[in-house]
Amino acid sequence: MVTSGEAQHADSHGVGSAWTGGLEDLLSAVPGQQVLLWLPDADGTLQLSGSRGIEHSAQATPDAAAGLFDTPPLLVRTPPNPDQPARALLAVNPTGADQSTLQRLLDEAFTPPPPLDTWDVLEAIGDQAAVLDADGVVIRANCAWRQTPEAAQSAVPRCEPGVDYPAHLRLTSSRPARIAADGILSVLRGALPAFQSDYDAGERAYSLQVEPLPHGGALVRHVDISFRQHLQRQLAHRATHDALTGLPNRMVMADRLGQALIRAARTGSTVAVLFCDVDRFKQINDTQGHSVGDQVLVAMARRLQKSVRQADLVARFGGDEFVVLLEDIDTPATAQAMAKSLQATTTSPIVVDGRPLHFGVSCGIAVHAGTSNPDLATIDGLLSDADSAMYAAKQTGRGRIALFEPAHRYVRRDPELIAPALRTAADNDEIRMMVQPIVALGTGQVSGFETFVRWDLPEVGLLSPADFLQTAEETGAIVEIGASILRQSLAFATRLPGQVVSINVSWVELAQPAYADSVLDALRAAGLPPERLALEVNVPALAEPQALTHLDQLRTAGLGVTLDAFGRQPVELSILPHLSATAVKIDRTLTAFATQPGSMARMLRGLVGLVAHLGLTGIAEGIESREQAEAAAELGLAQGQGFYFGKPVEPEEALVTVSDGPSAVPW
């Protein structure tokens, strides 16, 4: 057999690309009981490089081969022509060996691959491509060039080999063709290192790209960029418009508002901004589901657009907030009259799934006489004043209209006014907890519950959780709220048969010096093991080291850690290894793509694969139908949560549901 040293020496000579195995595999494949193989060294002298089934000296030469075999061997060399240098020589005991088989085997193993045909490369290019000589004459064109659609030919013609291409382009009156001719000549003459020019051809768009060749001439390609331009238009539209309603977004509104203020200063008219909020929208969203809520928002957008003049602008600022820009208003009373007309148009019920849904619109109005030099502070201030007026309108009841007054700035959810009430409510457990089931998609059993907060502040009005939780974080009151929800959650967990309770935790809480110890103390006081509690966190762009340390401490103690709303906002992936997570909640905006074909569904599948690869449990948020639940399970997500399985309910109601048995969900 070949020794390791001999095999290494042999492999250094290289085996032809036709043979995919190593040298030992080659020797094993040779028929015959006794085999010797010689390969040339750097000087071309044949050296013994491998053997099988025969005693020999490492210095054995081909001339002495006959004396080493039991019977005269078969000698085979490649190439067979003795006038050419040998790439390999094989001596084989003739028993079981065939001269032609040996020759074929040796030729395949040591014959180098044929040289690459340059013209084959040209044909392999998917674009319409041709090679020009130094004078601009087409030497060769690929199949795609010869099959160019007629519309593209009319914009920038192609030509047959043997034709001067720049001269051919100059024969047409097409401007893109003349630009192409000038660009090609500039590259051929060395005036430009390369050239590129885009042009439209009917329903398609192309990019002419000219690159010089090393030995003169140029490669000309017509690249179809229709899809790229379509994608660019889509991305540009998404950057300036709301994805759900198609309305312009805040950025467009700020730009148009600035222009309107300049025109108003020049014409002596007034600009009015109407900040509109859909009354009862949160109730509709919570009770009917997000798909119904989305239909309401789309209907509202259409009604607002039909209610305003062609020169006015309607934008969506997110959630259920819409902003209307009215130009050429003579007095504030005119703006109020237009707001009433708009309100009347938008408050008629809409029918969703055969059911009429009734809702109103609260509207705040801010007016401005215009300025010749509007800055960002002026624009943001006017929008903020309209927003404050809208909150003032809501305080007096639903469906009201309020014209901005300076006092409104202090009424609008002033954090310093709300913070003390928040702390008092938290200390007295007046911020109520509601729970929503989390279901194992494989069995349909309730595996856990997520807790939510609700608070009604009579002095200010009904505040959504997002509103007062943001204020709580800004003022530090979130610490007291978090402690209250933790107490309520653990009390609820003690009455469950074994499900995990998940609580949402902010980074402000996690950064508190004794946060981890306080959670573990609360678990011990409740008599619960750490595995019965999970923390849900939104990954921030920057996380304080202290917060990460506490999160790791709690995870080590046995608590679950869930990355919430994953995919909703950009996340620095480098932070993930430091979060000690056990689960990932895929945001509802991505879960919606589980039942749809296309690139977004493929992205969702890739994200689920990443979660599985990291060894984390995947949870789908926002499941609202059986189809979504089945699609999420098929993707590999272990758990699901959403209105299909159950809406947020009072803890007592959830306890009744769980006591009915593990199949008390529609799955």
Based on the structure, what is the number of domains in the chain?
4
Residue type, 87: R
In Å, the largest CA–CA distance within the chain is 118
Do 171 and 245 share a domain, yes or no? no
Q: What is the pLDDT of residue 9?
A: 38
What is the pLDDT, as a whole number, of residue 117?
65
Highest mean pLDDT among 93-97, 428-432, 516-520: 516-520
pLDDT at residue 415 greater than cutoff 80: no
For residues 414 and 471, give the distance between their C-alpha atoms in angstroms, rounded to a whole number.
9
Same domain, 473 and 574: yes
Domain region containing 396: 241-411
Residues 220 and 263 in one domain: no
Q: Clarify whether residues 607 and 500 are in a common domain.
A: yes
Q: Where do we find the tokens 């300036």? A: 240
Q: Indicate the residue among 343, 378, 411 that finishes a domain.
A: 411
Which secondary structure element, helix H or strand E, spans residue 341, and what is its range?
A: helix 332-346
Task: Tell whether the model's pLDDT for residue 114 goes beyond 80.
Answer: no
Whether residues 524 and 652 share a domain: the answer is yes
Residue 235 maps to a domain: no
Inform me whether the pLDDT recorded for 260 exceeds 80. yes
pLDDT at 1 (0 to 100): 31
Residue at 59 is within a domain? yes
Of 57, 59, 106, residue with least CA distance to 86: 106
Q: How far apart are CA 434 and CA 649, in angstroms?
A: 5
CA 6 to chain centre: 53
Q: What backbone phi and psi angles, to 5 degrees, belong to 72?
A: -55, 125
Q: Tell me how crowded residue 37 is: count the other CB atoms within 10 A of its CB.
A: 24
Q: Give percent of the chain with pLDDT exceeding 70.
A: 87
The band of 418, judged by pLDDT with boundaries at 50, 70 and 90, is low
Name the domain boundary from 203, 228, 253: 228
User: In this structure, are 463 and 373 located in the same domain?
Assistant: no
Residue 13 pLDDT exceeds 80: no
DSSP secondary structure code for residue 370 in this structure = -
Question: pLDDT-derived band of residue 3, with 50, 70 and 90 as boundaries?
Answer: very low
Give the mean pLDDT of the chain. Answer: 84
Whether 103 is covered by a domain: the verdict is: yes
Kind of pairing, strands 639-640 and 617-620?
Answer: parallel
Q: Is the peptide bond before 415 cis (omega within 30 degrees of 0)?
A: no
Strand partners, 402: 364
Partnered with residue 462 across adjacent β-strands are: 456
Residue type, 425: A
Helix axes 465-475, 478-493, angle to 10 degrees: 120
Please check whether residue 369 lies inside any domain of the structure: yes
Residue 2 has pLDDT above 50, yes or no: no
Residues 356 and 350: beta-carbon distance below 8 Å: yes
Residues 391 and 524 reside in one and the same domain: no
Query: Do 328 and 474 belong to one domain?
Result: no
What is the DSSP secondary-structure string of 229-249? HHHHHHHHHHHHB-TTT--B-
Say if residues 218 and 135 touch (Cβ distance below 8 Å).
Answer: no
Identify the band that residue 571 occupies on the pLDDT scale cut at 50, 70 and 90: low
| Res. 630: pLDDT tops 50 | yes
pLDDT value of residue 397:
67
Tell me how far apart the alpha carbons of residues 66 and 143 are, in angstroms, rounded to a whole number.
58
Same domain, 449 and 583: yes
533 and 653: one domain?
yes
pLDDT in tens, 139-149: 999 999 998 88
CATH number at residue 172: 3.30.450.20
Per cent of the chain over pLDDT 90 is 37
pLDDT of residue 467 exceeding 60, the answer is: no
pLDDT digits (tens, 9 = 90+) for 332-379: 999 999 999 988 888 788 887 777 777 778 999 999 988 888 888 889
Whether 587 is in a domain gets the answer yes
User: Is residue 12's pLDDT more than 60?
Assistant: no
SS3 164: strand
Question: What's residue 536's pLDDT?
Answer: 94
252-to-63, 234, 259, 323, 374 alpha-carbon distances in Å: 89, 16, 11, 11, 15
The band of 191, judged by pLDDT with boundaries at 50, 70 and 90, is very high
The CATH number of the domain where 285 resides is what?
Answer: 3.30.70.270
Residue 640 lies in a domain: yes
397 and 504 share one domain? no
What is the secondary structure of 28-88 as a DSSP string? Answer: HHS-SS-EEEEEE-TTS-EEEEEEES----TT--GGGGGGGSSSPPEEEEESS-TTSPPSE
Quote the pLDDT of residue 18: 41
pLDDT value of residue 349:
81
- Greater model confidence, 432 or 521: 521
pLDDT band at 604 (very low <50, low <70, confident <90, very high): confident
Pairing of strands 432-440, 446-454: antiparallel
Domain boundary among 61, 76, 110: 110
Same domain, 423 and 298: no
* 371 part of a folded domain: yes
State the pLDDT confidence band at 118, using cuts at 50, 70 and 90: low
Residue 253's pLDDT is what? 92
* Rounded Cα–Cα distance for residues 628 and 620 (Å): 9
Asked if residue 632 is part of any domain, the answer here is yes
Quick count: other Cβ atoms within 10 Å of Cβ 217? 19
> Is the pLDDT assigned to residue 540 strictly greater than 80?
no
- Dump pLDDT digits (tens) for 154-175: 899 999 998 999 999 999 989 9
Write down the pLDDT at residue 49.
87
* Residue 439, domain CATH: 3.20.20.450
Q: Which of 213, 218, 219, 183 is nearest to 198 (CA)?
A: 183
Q: Does residue 523 carry a pLDDT above 90? A: yes
For position 664, what pLDDT does the model report? 46
Lowest mean pLDDT among 7-16, 526-535, 582-591: 7-16
Q: Which of 182-186, 342-346, 636-640 has the lowest mean pLDDT?
A: 342-346
Q: Would the pLDDT of 57 be above 50?
A: yes
Instruction: Kindly report the length of the chain.
Output: 667
